[in-house]
Structure 1
């Protein structure tokens, strides 16, 4: 299914925006973005993966974003650049139909407290709630049913989709994107046990999101117990991610779906955590660490590189046999050590 909007642009204008080399008619206009196989004469497409080369020669697209190495195979106009996938990312924002739906203003059913600081070109949707002391920067969009708690700050150009909850005192940087159902600033999981019952520890810190952060749907970032939970600039967080109190995440790190990070753990810059990764509490993960999906990390990682844990899927009967062997590893290791020692003494 292709993406279309009222947006239209000439190939020459697109090439200038992307810093691409245009080969073809610069005056030709395009109105949509589509895959090679789905594109029509008014669409622009892209080739970023060699697996799709088979679709290139038959595409009906008006033009294709393409690496110069594959230019000779392109049957239509082309915009050559070294990173076509990055070019596609930039174009996708131009053709995003959501852009055409946003208009500045406060909907008549929204509730905005007196004294709220509202910048220029702000949009507040139906049934949204903006509590006292909030600051909304220029070009902020607050989606329908979203709630921004008292004294929170939403940076310029940030977008809260429908039904986002930002608790009191949370600071959201510029150009953030918060997807539906995410909760920023709920209480961390803090309780003291007296031997019989749990006693709640008030969570007195906040949450600080840097600039250009994106948080996926139904993800939770808990406020700090005393200090703040801090998410760095350009951090990308997928859906259904849980980040506990006082976690710190460095700039440009990406977390895939269902990652869970326990309290007070620090994750460095330029890290990548695959889907379902779990980090125990009070750890330090250094810069440039990549953890593959479904791994459990229980010790700090100081050196950059790729780390994994767990076992891959296999036939259940074989897995059961291996599980038994796993329980025997300690005994086997001790026996091996004795054999090696006996051989040295012989």
Structure 2
């Protein structure tokens, strides 16, 4: 981990510096636990009081805020984004030393800059860019193409003929290119497997979390565009298309042939059924089940808020009787129309 003076940080990232320019920053920390060599940030105004008590050496704040005196501040438009960039400065990514471990199996010609760790397997006809990292136990199937600077952490599996762009990060346990869930049914109930002949095509600067699975296409390709960020334990079915810079949180399931636009955000445990179209700039709240296409940008929610169990049971009981209540209301309306006011 690097350490930097606060004026060096501002010199590289911009912003307005208030306070001592020689303040040394060694680490990042939340406001409530930061120490005298830490930098923190305030993005949510409801935590404003923590500025009075934090021991942080410096705090990143937004314009228009009047911070208490006696500390060092960086004023910028987006404190959380600025904090992320400071984190990159203090935690630069190290490049693994090139070389192939003795226990690795490499059946293709690869660049000298490649790092292949113990127990990894690279099949024939694989094409790697410069500075690719292949972690321990990772399997790269026949005919796979991987762009420059991409990192496959330990125990990743890339099935045959898939394509991965440059500067991607794929975390442990991810499986790229397994067969999609495609079957036809006989009259007697038996299932006939449909060969999955497509690929998975992943763009540049994509990050894929641990144990996330992306199925290959049935005939066409499954496509993950540039800049997409996928959390852990996501299931993406065959022929799904995900647009550039979309972010999807953990435990989301996306059924086959759905198309998701650019810059969307999908909350954790959301479910999206198959053959839907979701336009650009859509936000789907956590736990939402999407059952129809979304044609307009915006925030969409289809779940119940948390409440005490007894309240939920009572309200659900009312829901079960809505049909009977509606029928009674219609009958009362008919009687009122006829002038019958008797009970």
Q: Is TM more than 0.5 here? A: yes
Residue 286 (structure 2) aligns with: 293
Check whether the contact 2:100–2:117 (CA below 8 A) recurs between aligned residues: yes
- Change in Cα spacing, 1:101 to 1:176, as seen in structure 2 (3 Å) is closer
Distance 1:235 1:336, change over 3 A: farther
Decide whether aligned partners of structure 1 residues 64 and 319 sit closer, same or farther in structure 2, where only a CA change above 3 A counts: closer
Tell me, in whole angstroms, the C-alpha distance in 2 between the residues paired with 1:315 and 1:26.
Answer: 52
- Give SS of 2:322's match: helix
Is structure 2 residue 164 aligned with structure 1 residue 169? no
Uncovered stretches (5+) of structure 1, i.e. residues with no partner: none
Instruction: Describe the shift of the 1:33–1:311 C-alpha distance in structure 2 as closer, same or farther (beyond 3 A).
Output: closer
Aligned to 1:114: 108
Q: Hey, what does 1:315 align to over in structure 2?
A: 308
Which segment drifts farther, 201-210 or 313-322?
313-322
The corresponding residue for 1:30 is 25
Q: Which residue of 2 aligns with 1:232?
A: 225
1:1-346 maps to which residues of 2 (within 5 A)?
A: 5=1, 7-70=2-65, 72-73=67-68, 75-96=70-91, 99-100=93-94, 102-116=96-110, 118=111, 121-194=113-186, 195-333=188-326, 336=329
2:329 and 2:246 mapped to 1: Cα distance?
A: 42
Residues 282-301 of structure 1 deviation map (CA, whole Å, 9 limit, x = unaligned): 11112222221212121112
Measured against aligned partners, the alpha-carbon deviations of 1:19-57 in whole angstroms (never above 9, x if no partner) come to 222334545543322233443443333222334433333
Q: 1:220 to 1:341 in 2, by over 3 A?
A: farther
2:51 and 2:67 in contact (8 A); partners too:
no
Measure the CA separation in 1 of the matches of 2:22 and 2:72: 11
**Is the 2:214–2:237 contact (alpha carbons within 8 Å) kept by the matching residues of 1?**
yes
Give the drift of 1:222.
0.6
Larger radius of gyration: 2
Distance 1:68 1:303, change over 3 A: closer
Query: Secondary structure at the residue paired with 1:290?
Result: strand
> What CA deviation, in whole Å up to 9, does each residue of 1:52-73 have, x standing for no partner?
4333334444433222333532
Note the C-alpha offset of 1:155.
1.9
The unaligned stretches of length 5 or more in structure 2 are none
After superposition, the CA RMSD in angstroms is 2.5
After superposition, give the CA deviation of every residue in 1:75-129 in whole Å (9 maximum; x if it has no partner): 33332211111011112223337x347333333332221324x3x6432222222
Q: Are the equivalent residues in 1 in contact too, given 2:121–2:138 (CA < 8 A)?
A: yes
